[in-house]
Structure 1
Amino acid sequence: MILVTGGAGFIGANFVLQWLREVGEPVVNLDKLTYAGNLGNLAEVVDDPRHIFVRGDIADHRLVRELLGQYRPRAVVHFAAESHVDRSIHGPEDFIQTNIVGTFRLLDEVRAYWEGLKGAERDRFRFLHVSTDEVYGSLGPADPAFSETTPYAPNSPYSASKAASDHLVRAYHHTYGLPTLTTNCSNNYGPYQFPEKLIPLMILNGLTGQPLPVYGDGLNVRDWLYVEDHCAAIRRVLEDGRVGETYNIGGECEKTNIDVVKTICAILDELHPSRRPHAALIKYVQDRPGHDRRYAMDTRKIRAELGWAPKETFETGLRKTVDWYIAHRDWVDGVTTGAYRQWIEQNYGNR
């Protein structure tokens, strides 16, 4: 049995589905079901007895304590987080509460649980914390990729809150001996991603003939990682990662935002043709404050120590993603509610 936090969100849900499909070990899934948490992401396991869903907050001491005591997991995989930079700019407090306070309270309960374990149960227990490349800040065009020893330099309320959570995890290992693992990943894309993020937003706006808003000059660079590859990497770290270590996970696939958007347009022209090319919908809009220019991940450590490498290229992964959104319009309709449309208007309406 493992306990997963945030397992109804984008990456967490993909991890749960892959885990049950490829490992088969039962999962207790704790998720608060905020705007990005969606039980529809888990529809295929709704009747699977190996999947135990609990709606709740990682900051709820008592609930976490009860779940740990009742199910006695051999590992906790911590995805639960507020994770969108633009939302953190408009409302940073939720990010402080979930990413910092929530992680602290979760760690404190997990530490007490682990300290009560004996023998082999105690020795094999792991706490795996899922984080982001954004904690490292921004790279110049010729700078080397982020490594696990790159100094932290977060530039948004979101990345600052994730950096703080990373430091808490490190501190709980070095102070209390809690057997922790941390992963820092590059930009993910794939099925079930909430459509405020770049790739699903461009796909859905393209399908409906709406403008494709691109920040600034569109030349911000990101390293893109297909979500299934990310989940497989997390499993490898959980299985064989060295306690107390950090592992960077990335696709080693740097693309400018405008290149990503144009590639999506070309795929939509092929799979969902319209009267004019989808690229005609591209609209450059005012950049967001503090927009990091470039991210890139050095993945030599996880490749050398754990033998992991991504299976999908950007081209194969992106085509799978576009196919998925075209085929799952019912899922899209379920998440693009009035609240979602209000957020899109708030963030892009005056740019």
Structure 2
Amino acid sequence: MTLRVGVIGGGQLARMMIAPAVELGLDLRVLAEAEGMSAALAATATGDYRDLETVRAFVADVDVVTFDHEHVPQEVLRALVADGVSVHPGPDALQFAQDKIVMRKRLTELGVPQPEWAAVSTLAELQEFLDAHTGAGVVKTPRGGYDGKGVRVVRSAEEARDWLDALTDGDALLVEELVPFVRELAQQVARRPSGEVVAYPVVETVQRDGVCAEVIAPAPGASARLVEVAEDIGRTIAEGLGVTGMLAVELFETDDERILVNELAMRPHNSGHWSQDGAVTGQFEQHLRAVADLPLGSTAPRAPWSVMVNILGGPVDGTLESRFGSALAAHPQAKVHTYGKSPRPGRKVGHVNVASDDLDDAVYVARAAAAHFL
């Protein structure tokens, strides 16, 4: 009998699971938030993922549930588990991707290297932390932030007064040291329920205005020690948190040669898009293998270098579709992936992958091909 995989969330990550699901012989079904979303091809239902009865109705016809995002409430997730639904990753793991303070506490228990941090709920507590950390820090809302949202660099507690004033009783903000990093990295691993874990090469990510713009795989100039430490961090977190499916660990490489954990994502992630065309097993296929508890695939690169460039915003005039001809004719080695989204400033509407024997060539072609869609 064909295994039915339900994905909650109809964004581009669910969309990019469709092709590998077909190839693996899986029946992919999607609960989309609204009509016309990226994963419309596989959307069998629309509705509010925060509503338990809506989600229950969707999962009644699937064998395993996974996610396009981490925002499904814990009470919904735990109700599904109580109903006997196979949920991957489960609520015990997802809580650490949903709440950054909960994540920081657990990573501290695991002994994973991370920035110095504190949970603060008053101006005095925040100012005390800043004074102890060279007068600056990064304040984050614990829940809901992504792509630079819910993040603020402050040099005075007053700069976060509005967020502190908005807190309800028992709530707090997360403040972290302003890390002196030289670049950002990402380590992806996959883990299946039976315990098998595989790791991808550590990659370098380039952020612009808080949004991932480019990824280079593997991270240029990465020493054998850095590669070993990054993979060990990824495996430790996946096993220590009980993650099932893909896990992306965003990392800082500091100017004093530390590797520190920034944030986590328990799903396919922008830092792994390169693997669609640059690895033996792309992250979307790997995620489906993992949540279905199938043997995991090889993570070996297909070429010495792979570069991913995001298409941010899209064309000012015309459509993405109208640009394919010129992009593919000029750069036949580029692989273009679009998300079925309308252009909007700053919006992720697609990405370009290029695998090559030469890094400079891969960077040039990926950027040039992506430019056709702007």
TM-score (norm 2): 0.37
Greater relative CO (CA pairs within 8 A, separation 6+): 1
Whose strand fraction is larger, Structure 1's or Structure 2's? 2
